[in-house]
Chains A and B, each alone.
Chain A
Amino acid sequence: MNENPADVAPELCVLIAAVLGLVNGLFLPRTRQWRVALVCAAGLVAGLVVAAVDATRPDLVVFDAFVVDPITHVTRITVLGATLLVLALAAGPVRDHPRESEHYVLILLSALGAMALGASSDLLVVVAAYLLASIPAYALAGFGKDAHGTEAALKYYLMGAFLGVVMLAGVTLLYGVGRGTAYGTLRAGLAGAPSAAVSAGVVALLAGLLFKAGTVPGQFWVPDVTEGAPPAVAAFVTTVPKIGAFAALLRFGSEALPPGAGGWPALVAVIAAATMTLGNLAAFGQDNVRRLLAYSTVSQAGYLLVPVAMAGRTDLARTALLFYVAAYAVTNLGAFAVVLAAGRDDLAAYTGLLRTSPLLGLSLVVCLLGFVGTPPTAVFVGKVLMFGAALDGRYAWLAAVAALNTVASVFYYLRWIVPLFRRPDGALRPARAASAVAVAAAVFSVALGVGAGVALTP
């Protein structure tokens, strides 16, 4: 058994940075706590470098439960990069906050959970990673200590607790019928197991992962938390844990389940269709941009489930999911960065943004058009791959539903884009750091879209 800790060096970098940040935070005066942010950022950058180096090495398994393969590489790099952007977004609002260092540390720990979620190949490690990714996020959601934040945190926690318990039950059931929790064992064991029990176990296990991914039936927390929690936290919880959750779903579907067991493609396809449709429809009437973005993330999660459903049926599924998840992360963070920079939640406040702040407005347009799937943004390439995977896996109806939903989604994104071109009715002072993050995300989204050929080669 390989137990070399150097193989999980990116995770260790994050962990060490979190611990160092916590210890530093204990001794630093309140006005100097920003140094913790630097420590955490340094840890993330170090993790990124190590992860990038690791990505060039052959696949391997550590501790019998931790797989280092392309899924893990992409999960690590995307999570680390996204967390770095979130740190940049969060640094401004929590500056000189009494618990500034704890904020950074919680973000890092939750990100660590997301990374572990994507890499683990054992149901028990998945549960542990789920808890690690969730619990710091509950605390983060209530960080503002205001009425909305507290309510959001409580709802988030209660939903997480309920679906987590269901997930544990699913793990137990699968352990019972599959005689093990490691994916390799399960794949062999589930092949001869009673199919109803396997189906129930799979659905129960999915409950937790889908909660993290923010899809039906675990989508209830998404709008409430996105609206109630501090914006930077909202950006974090709608982006980073999802990356890990989708990686875990893909890995479970392709490595733990024998072909056809648990009604896999049909089950996930139904969930995907329901999620994207619900998210799009509910986003129609929203006047609060954070709620609108929340439902938009729900619908995007629905699209992301399409390649998950196709896991094991086509080689395109993995490529599509990994590219789409990275594209989604950068685009979503860009949109939230604009909201943070503008500091306003009502749709009307964005009228004429392209005139008052052209760069910020342009970034928002790029990100929103990216969500629609407009060339040459990254999400466009992701969507093309997603459609390709659905058609390749002979799920044409799912591709049709996704296409229909994409058309419908243009409506509410345009509701936000069109007023940007109108005459402004009031001055808007965008925050500088968040604006920079928004512009960087928009530029990166276009660059990733244009350079998709290079990114997809390995």
Chain B
Amino acid sequence: MIVALAVTPPAAGALLLLTGRRADRAAPAAGVLVATAVLALAVAAAVTCPVARFAVLPGWPGGLAVDGLSGVLVVTVASVLLAILVFAAAYGYGARFFGLMLLFAGAMLVTVTASDLVLLLMGWEVMGAMSYALIGYEWREAEPVRSADVAFLTTRAADLGLYAAAGFAVAGSHSLALSALGGAAEPWRDLAAAGAVLAALGKSAQLPFSFWLSRAMAGPSPVSALLHSATMVAAGAYLLLRLHPLLAATGWAGTFVAWAGAVTALLLGAVALAQRDLKQLLAASTCAQIGFMVLGAGAGSVPGGTAQLVAHAAVKSLLFLCAGAWLTALGTKQLDELHGAARRYRLVGAAFGAGALSLAGLPPLALWVTKDEVLTAAAERSPALFAVGLAASVLSAAYAAKALFAVWRGTRTDGARVPMPMLARLPLVILAAAACVLGVLGLPGVADALDIPGETRVNGPELAVSGVLAAVTILAVRFARTIPAPAWAADWLFLERAARAGIVRPAFALARALARFDDRFVDGAVRAVARSGPWAAGLAGRGAELRLDGLVTGVGRGARRLAALARRPQTGLVHTYYAQAAVLLAVLVAVAVLAGW
């Protein structure tokens, strides 16, 4: 069953891709059908917790396995995939879209069920490649392709950490199993942890890699909905949650990861607040919310991080689908131009409202509970960490409110109302409901029932404080004249510029210098050899060739002369034949006598 779960979506996706345009008409139905089957399989897998042991590399046992954490994630991935594919089916995407989406989700399913590093890397890589293909879905235009390049190169660079981690794991524990990493020998354990943390931070767009997520907005909205919720960015958080024993074992890694998450949540929260583009705002908020998950993984709250992941998946896919619906209907995603959009499309508006309020952390909605579960764990670690996390949660209430009021404020008069497809409404309703009630995951007992390792603790006063803070912040945003939008925040902390200046340009400068070296010295040597060839040939032609040529001509001339000589005995006169034969016989007698002497 677990193999069917891991193989069905990629196989169906590959089939759709291979069939190409011919399958365009059947693709939406096929995609939804496969996604439904995958959801059924995922639920069944989560209940039965199957294990499949096999070795991809001979001698390195591993395989696929579903435990509590994986079970929650496969159900989340399958649900979000189904909701998004139903939505996309309403908007008439083709076979390529559904094929890539299924492959993308399939890679995520492999990633979360892998129990060894080889399979994990396979899923990880395919997911990265598919994200590239999906971000650059509109490949005929230059900008999406450039964005896809940036996103792919950034995550790819961070991925190298996971390869290094695999190497260190082999060196340290002579095993590729994820569960064996925590017990690796001393220097290797730290190195493996560093590699894995690097890869996870890159994949989930934490600082300093956050800028690629801004670029990922170039893809279609359903792609963003999937990429920002249950796959790709979630994979990084999942890896940290999965490797929590390793982080805990090293000591430093847990603290580092917790701070990385908290700082990302704070800074990217500010970035989100400064955005004027709805999708960019949502992208930055993704970084910030993933920051809470990372904080949870670092602070040792695996159930909190997992609950945050699941609840955020529902909320963020919902918000992106709403943004996509408006983008299609109104042709804009600028916050200034979206005034009144919620009133014109009331269902979308209501769903968006539920999602945004959940994102703001308003009680009793989902993210209020899950986020505070993480914060409770952070408070136990260090007050500073808790303070940063609390500030970040205030910021998240602020940017969620900014988006909410942008779409609800005012009324629209321009243009005709484009009716929204019936099929697109269903996932919005379901996801909105999930965004409201998934907070139950954070309740004590639920996580235990789901068999997620670790202890669930919710601090009552803390919950009350953060709920009040969220409500106050929302009201403050409602009545604020202006919301500050400093340039550093609006431009994503200048991260992409910094990467360009700090890494891309030096790399190119080095490459150019090396190319010059290659041209001048290496190539120069080759050219010198090439030049010396004709020179030597000329020398040979003037000096040796004439003599050699003369020799060859001489041989030819000699042969002709000898040939003429050889025809001389054939006089045609019998008496000369007789004479020659007689003389030859005499000579032969002499030869015979001398030889026999």
Out of A155, A220, A285, which one reaches B564, CB within 8 Å? A285
Residues of chain B lying within 8 A (CB to CB) of residue A154? 574
Out of A196, A207, A220, A260, which one reaches B585, CB within 8 Å? A207
Residues of chain B lying within 8 A (CB to CB) of residue A267? 588, 591-592, 595
Interface residue ranges of B542-584 to A (CB < 8 Å): 559-560, 562-567, 569-570, 572, 574, 577-578, 580-581, 584
| Inter-subunit contact A278/B591 (CB<8 Å) | no
Report B556 CB to chain A, min CB distance, Å. Answer: 9
| Inter-subunit contact B580/A263 (CB<8 Å) | no
| Inter-subunit contact B581/A217 (CB<8 Å) | yes
Out of A220, A264, A266, which one reaches B581, CB within 8 Å? A220
Residue-by-residue, is A264-295 near B (CB-CB < 8 Å gives 1, otherwise 0)?
A: 11110011000001100110110000000000
At the interface, is chain A mostly helix, strand, loop or mixed?
Answer: helix
| Inter-subunit contact A220/B588 (CB<8 Å) | no
Report A217 CB to chain B, min CB distance, Å. Answer: 4
| Inter-subunit contact B596/A199 (CB<8 Å) | yes
Residues of chain B lying within 8 A (CB to CB) of residue A261? 596
Interface residue ranges of A412-455 to B (CB < 8 Å): none
Smallest CB gap from B561: residue in A: A281
Report B591 CB to chain A, min CB distance, Å. Answer: 6
Interface residue ranges of B41-67 to A (CB < 8 Å): none
A302 to B565, CA, bound (A): 18
| Inter-subunit contact A198/B581 (CB<8 Å) | no
A198 to B593, CA, bound (A): 9
| Inter-subunit contact A162/B593 (CB<8 Å) | no
Residues of chain A lying within 8 A (CB to CB) of residue B566? 277-278, 281-282, 284
Residues of chain B lying within 8 A (CB to CB) of residue A159? 574, 577, 581
B480 at the interface (CB under 8 A from A): no
Out of B570, B592, B593, which one reaches A282, CB within 8 Å? B570
Residues of chain B lying within 8 A (CB to CB) of residue A200? 589, 592-593
- Given the interface pairs A195-B597, A199-B592, A260-B596, the reply to whether A223 lies near B570 with Cβ below 8 Å is yes
Residue with the greatest number of chain A CB neighbours at <10 A, chosen from B580, B584, B594: B584
Residues of chain A lying within 8 A (CB to CB) of residue B578? 158, 162
A220 to B577, CA, bound (A): 7
| Inter-subunit contact B574/A217 (CB<8 Å) | no
Residue with the greatest number of chain B CB neighbours at <10 A, chosen from A200, A217, A221: A217
Residues of chain B lying within 8 A (CB to CB) of residue A198? 596
Smallest CB gap from B572: residue in A: A224
| Inter-subunit contact A155/B595 (CB<8 Å) | no
Residues of chain B lying within 8 A (CB to CB) of residue A277? 566
A408 at the interface (CB under 8 A from B): yes
Residues of chain A lying within 8 A (CB to CB) of residue B565? 281
A365 to B560, CA, bound (A): 25
A319 to B394, CA, bound (A): 105
Number of residue pairs A-B, CB distance < 8 angstroms: 95
Residues of chain A lying within 8 A (CB to CB) of residue B588? 203, 206, 217, 267, 270-271
Report B588 CB to chain A, min CB distance, Å. Answer: 5
A234 to B566, CA, bound (A): 22
A294 to B567, CA, bound (A): 12
A198 to B597, CA, bound (A): 11
- Given the interface pairs A281-B559, A284-B559, the reply to whether A155 lies near B593 with Cβ below 8 Å is no
A216 at the interface (CB under 8 A from B): yes
| Inter-subunit contact A285/B581 (CB<8 Å) | no
A91 at the interface (CB under 8 A from B): no
Out of A162, A195, A207, A223, which one reaches B596, CB within 8 Å? A195
A170 to B562, CA, bound (A): 33
Residues of chain A lying within 8 A (CB to CB) of residue B564? 285
A261 to B584, CA, bound (A): 20
Residues of chain B lying within 8 A (CB to CB) of residue A67? none
A178 at the interface (CB under 8 A from B): no
| Inter-subunit contact B570/A166 (CB<8 Å) | no
- Given the interface pairs A223-B570, A282-B566, the reply to whether A217 lies near B585 with Cβ below 8 Å is yes
Residues of chain B lying within 8 A (CB to CB) of residue A149? none
- Given the interface pairs A162-B578, A284-B559, the reply to whether A199 lies near B584 with Cβ below 8 Å is no
Residues of chain B lying within 8 A (CB to CB) of residue A224? 570, 572
Interface residue ranges of A91-118 to B (CB < 8 Å): none
Residue-by-residue, is B345-386 near A (CB-CB < 8 Å gives 1, otherwise 0)?
A: 000000000000000000000000000000000000000000
Smallest CB gap from B562: residue in A: A281
Residues of chain A lying within 8 A (CB to CB) of residue B589? 199-200, 203
Report B593 CB to chain A, min CB distance, Å. Answer: 5
| Inter-subunit contact A281/B563 (CB<8 Å) | yes
| Inter-subunit contact B595/A263 (CB<8 Å) | yes
A333 at the interface (CB under 8 A from B): no
| Inter-subunit contact A196/B560 (CB<8 Å) | no
Report B553 CB to chain A, min CB distance, Å. Answer: 15
| Inter-subunit contact B595/A266 (CB<8 Å) | yes
| Inter-subunit contact B585/A166 (CB<8 Å) | yes
Smallest CB gap from A218: residue in B: B581
A140 at the interface (CB under 8 A from B): no
Residue with the greatest number of chain A CB neighbours at <10 A, chosen from B569, B570, B597: B570
A202 at the interface (CB under 8 A from B): yes
Interface residue ranges of A174-203 to B (CB < 8 Å): 195-196, 198-200, 202-203
Residues of chain B lying within 8 A (CB to CB) of residue A199? 589, 592-593, 595-596
Report B570 CB to chain A, min CB distance, Å. Answer: 6
Residues of chain B lying within 8 A (CB to CB) of residue A158? 574, 577-578
A204 at the interface (CB under 8 A from B): yes
A341 to B577, CA, bound (A): 32
| Inter-subunit contact A203/B563 (CB<8 Å) | no
Residues of chain A lying within 8 A (CB to CB) of residue B570? 220, 223-224, 282
| Inter-subunit contact A202/B592 (CB<8 Å) | yes
Report B254 CB to chain A, min CB distance, Å. Answer: 77
| Inter-subunit contact A284/B563 (CB<8 Å) | yes
Residue with the greatest number of chain B CB neighbours at <10 A, chosen from A218, A271, A284: A284
Residues of chain A lying within 8 A (CB to CB) of residue B597? 195
| Inter-subunit contact A263/B592 (CB<8 Å) | yes
| Inter-subunit contact A216/B584 (CB<8 Å) | yes
A262 at the interface (CB under 8 A from B): yes
Smallest CB gap from A211: residue in B: B581
A40 at the interface (CB under 8 A from B): no
A199 to B574, CA, bound (A): 27
- Given the interface pairs A203-B585, A263-B591, A267-B591, the reply to whether A220 lies near B580 with Cβ below 8 Å is yes
| Inter-subunit contact B594/A263 (CB<8 Å) | yes
A321 at the interface (CB under 8 A from B): no
A162 to B567, CA, bound (A): 22
| Inter-subunit contact A155/B577 (CB<8 Å) | yes
A233 at the interface (CB under 8 A from B): no
Residues of chain B lying within 8 A (CB to CB) of residue A203? 585, 588-589, 592
Residue-by-residue, is A240-274 near B (CB-CB < 8 Å gives 1, otherwise 0)?
A: 00000000000000000000111111110011000
| Inter-subunit contact A155/B574 (CB<8 Å) | yes
Smallest CB gap from A158: residue in B: B574
Residues of chain A lying within 8 A (CB to CB) of residue B595? 199, 263-267
Residues of chain A lying within 8 A (CB to CB) of residue B585? 166, 203-204, 207, 217
Residue with the greatest number of chain B CB neighbours at <10 A, chosen from A154, A220, A260, A284: A220
Residues of chain B lying within 8 A (CB to CB) of residue A204? 585
A320 to B581, CA, bound (A): 28
Smallest CB gap from A260: residue in B: B596
A203 to B562, CA, bound (A): 27
A-B contacts, 9 listed (Cβ < 8 Å) = A155-B577, A158-B578, A200-B592, A207-B581, A218-B581, A220-B570, A267-B591, A277-B566, A282-B567
Q: Which 5 A-B pairs have the closest CB atoms?
A: A263-B595, A217-B584, A266-B595, A199-B592, A281-B566
In addition to A207-B581, A221-B577, A270-B591, 10 A-B residue pairs with Cβ atoms within 8 Å of each other are: A166-B585, A202-B592, A217-B581, A217-B584, A220-B580, A223-B570, A224-B572, A263-B592, A270-B588, A284-B560
Chain A residues within CB distance 8 Å of chain B: 154-155, 158-159, 162-163, 166, 195-196, 198-200, 202-204, 206-207, 216-218, 220-221, 223-224, 260-267, 270-271, 277-278, 281-282, 284-285, 408, 411
Chain B residues within CB distance 8 Å of chain A: 559-560, 562-567, 569-570, 572, 574, 577-578, 580-581, 584-585, 588-589, 591-597
